[in-house]
Amino acid sequence: MKIALVGATGLVGGVMRKVLEERGFGDCELIPAASARSVGKKVTFAGKVCNVVSVEEAIEQAPEYAIFSAGSGPSLQYAPLFAQKGTVVIDNSSAWRSDPDIPLVVPEINGDVIRPADHIIANPNCSTIQMVMALAPLHKRYRIKRIVVSTYQSITGTGMKAVNQLAKERAGEPCDMAYPYQIDMNLFPHGGTFEENGYTTEETKLLNETRKILRDNEIGVSATVVRVPVTGGHSESVNVEFYEDFEMSEVYDLLNNMPGVVVQDNPAENLYPMPLFAKDKDEVFVGRIRRDFSQPKTLNLWVVADNLRKGAATNAIQIMQMLVNR
């Protein structure tokens, strides 16, 4: 089987190569593709050295699958060209997520929405994936009315330039700025670009994508996205109001039985999720689970996951695995 990886030289592309190996695709023929400035570079996959080719060349090879992690511009330009060749595209950018005809998929939640004729499938935003993984079983049981979420997002979500900025700042060296401000010893409420309504594009994604994945357009979402100087993953403080009341024991049971979710919640032993321990793991970790006593039918959660793994590479490859197994 041939698999094209568009954006193979980027931060997420490197993680995708690793996850492909881990999940049994090491024997496949990988076609690493990237922009013109990266053509001719070499990447390693399953112990082999592969030459990076242009996206046009990758299209001509008509792979069975193409996984994109190259930004919305290249996805809009090239995904339809792959699809015309019969390739199934799994896109990690925001290009197709809001398209009503394109499935937006977290396999543990809504893999059933993918139809045989679908040749472009959208991978949700990293912060959305981890939140809905925790909320999906609760929504099914109690139905969500409203979510208030504040995210504490790793700089790895911005890419290598941001990672380099933090490293250089900590070393006291000059650097190219990925952000408008210093990130070390700082945080700022700015993820994506600001829209006219005062929210950022990252915050709007949390609203629209949550509704689409959970198949409920009445869910209210109020989001604040914050960038923090960590590299292990994204963290989220989630306050969720339901239509139906809940028992805490059942909440724990539902979360414990959700595939891909790990409950870490023992305050007496200082056990709670942290990006320090979520790094390089595929699970979504949930803790600080407690009733909100300020209003009825409302729950507080703390949700952490490696944004490069389950938030990006792992979820995309899980989609491909599901389709291959079908």
> Residue 326 has what pLDDT?
86
Dihedral (Cα; 307, 312, 313, 317), 10-degree rounding? 140
Token representation of residue 129: 């994936």
Longest dimension (CA), the chain: 59
**Separation of CA 32 from chain center:** 21
Tell me the C-alpha distance between 157 and 154, whole Å.
Answer: 6
Catalytic residue status for 234? yes
248-256 vs 126-142: helix axis angle to the nearest 10? 130
| Total residues belonging to the chain | 326
Q: Could you tell me the CA-to-CA distances from 178 to 10, 160, 186 in Å, in that order?
A: 15, 9, 14
CATH class as words, domain 127-307: alpha beta
Q: Closest Cα partner for 306 from 315, 318, 297, 294?
A: 315
Q: Could you tell me the CA-to-CA distances from 300 to 140, 143, 291 in Å, in that order?
A: 17, 15, 6
Enumerate the domain spans of the chain: 2-123+312-325, 127-307
Per CATH, the number for 2-123+312-325 is 3.40.50.720
Per-residue pLDDT tens, the chain, 326 aa: give them: 999 999 999 999 999 999 999 999 999 999 999 998 999 999 999 999 999 999 999 999 999 999 999 999 999 999 999 999 999 999 999 999 999 999 999 999 999 999 999 999 999 999 999 999 999 999 999 999 999 999 999 999 999 999 999 999 999 999 999 999 999 999 999 999 999 999 999 999 999 999 999 999 999 999 999 999 999 999 999 999 999 999 999 999 999 999 999 999 999 999 999 999 999 999 999 999 999 999 999 999 999 999 999 999 999 999 999 999 98
| Cβ contact 78:55 at 8 Å | yes
Active-site hit among 28, 50, 119, 126 = 126
Domains 2-123+312-325 and 127-307 equal at CATH topology level: no
Residue 56, C-beta contacts closer than 8 angstroms, at least 6 positions apart:
none
Provide the pairing of β-strand 88-91 with 65-68: parallel
* DSSP per-residue codes, 64-75: SEEEE-S-HHHH
Catalytic residue status for 126? yes
